[in-house]
Protein backbone atom coordinates (compact mmCIF):
# COMPACT_ATOMS: atom_id res chain seq x y z
CA UNK A 1 0.00 0.00 0.00
CA UNK A 2 2.95 2.36 0.63
CA UNK A 3 4.09 1.83 -2.95
CA UNK A 4 0.63 2.80 -4.19
CA UNK A 5 0.55 5.96 -2.05
CA UNK A 6 4.00 7.15 -3.14
CA UNK A 7 3.04 6.48 -6.75
CA UNK A 8 -0.10 8.57 -6.22
CA UNK A 9 1.88 11.49 -4.74
CA UNK A 10 4.28 11.46 -7.68
CA UNK A 11 1.44 11.22 -10.18
CA UNK A 12 -0.50 14.11 -8.56
CA UNK A 13 2.60 16.31 -8.73
CA UNK A 14 3.29 15.54 -12.38
CA UNK A 15 -0.35 15.96 -13.42
CA UNK A 16 -0.60 19.32 -11.64
CA UNK A 17 2.66 20.56 -13.14
CA UNK A 18 1.72 19.61 -16.69
CA UNK A 19 -1.76 21.14 -16.53
CA UNK A 20 -0.50 24.28 -14.80
CA UNK A 21 2.22 24.81 -17.43
CA UNK A 22 -0.29 24.24 -20.23
CA UNK A 23 -3.10 26.43 -18.84
CA UNK A 24 -1.59 28.72 -16.20
CA UNK A 25 -4.57 27.85 -13.98
CA UNK A 26 -3.92 26.64 -10.44
CA UNK A 27 -7.60 25.69 -10.06
CA UNK A 28 -7.74 23.64 -13.25
CA UNK A 29 -4.34 22.11 -12.50
CA UNK A 30 -5.53 21.11 -9.04
CA UNK A 31 -8.80 19.66 -10.30
CA UNK A 32 -7.23 17.58 -13.03
CA UNK A 33 -4.30 16.63 -10.79
CA UNK A 34 -6.79 15.17 -8.33
CA UNK A 35 -9.19 13.38 -10.67
CA UNK A 36 -6.87 11.85 -13.29
CA UNK A 37 -4.24 10.36 -10.97
CA UNK A 38 -6.93 9.15 -8.56
CA UNK A 39 -8.44 7.08 -11.35
CA UNK A 40 -5.02 5.79 -12.41
CA UNK A 41 -3.99 5.00 -8.83
CA UNK A 42 -7.09 2.89 -8.26
CA UNK A 43 -6.41 1.13 -11.55
CA UNK A 44 -2.77 0.58 -10.59
CA UNK A 45 -3.76 -0.94 -7.24
CA UNK A 46 -6.01 -3.50 -8.90
CA UNK A 47 -3.46 -4.11 -11.66
CA UNK A 48 -0.87 -5.04 -9.01
CA UNK A 49 -3.35 -7.38 -7.28
CA UNK A 50 -4.10 -9.13 -10.56
CA UNK A 51 -0.39 -9.59 -11.25
CA UNK A 52 0.09 -11.08 -7.77
CA UNK A 53 -2.59 -13.64 -8.54
CA UNK A 54 -1.03 -14.37 -11.93
CA UNK A 55 2.39 -14.94 -10.32
CA UNK A 56 0.89 -17.17 -7.65
CA UNK A 57 -0.84 -19.31 -10.27
CA UNK A 58 2.36 -19.50 -12.30
CA UNK A 59 4.18 -20.88 -9.26
CA UNK A 60 6.41 -17.87 -8.76
CA UNK A 61 7.13 -16.34 -5.38
CA UNK A 62 5.46 -13.07 -4.44
CA UNK A 63 8.73 -11.32 -3.62
CA UNK A 64 11.49 -10.44 -6.01
CA UNK A 65 14.78 -12.17 -5.09
CA UNK A 66 17.59 -9.93 -3.92
CA UNK A 67 20.02 -8.82 -6.58
CA UNK A 68 23.33 -10.59 -6.48
CA UNK A 69 26.56 -8.66 -6.81
- Cβ neighbors of 12 (< 8 A, separation 6 or more) are 33, 34, 37
pLDDT digits (tens, 9 = 90+) for 5-36: 898 888 889 989 999 999 999 999 999 988 98
pLDDT at res. 39: 87
Q: Is residue 36 assigned to a domain?
A: yes
Q: Is residue 48 assigned to a domain?
A: yes
pLDDT digits (tens, 9 = 90+) for 32-69: 988 987 888 789 899 999 999 999 988 865 565 555 55
Distance CA 12, CA 7 (A): 9
Q: Are 18 and 36 in contact (CB under 8 A)?
A: no
This prediction has a pTM of 0.53
Q: What backbone torsions phi and psi does residue 66 show, to the nearest 5 degrees?
A: -65, 145
Q: Which structural domain, as residue segments, surrounds residue 45?
A: 2-57
Q: Is residue 67 assigned to a domain?
A: no
Our count of domains for the chain comes to 1
Amino acid sequence: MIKTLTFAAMHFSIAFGVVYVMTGSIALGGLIAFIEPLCNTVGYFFHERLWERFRARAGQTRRTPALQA
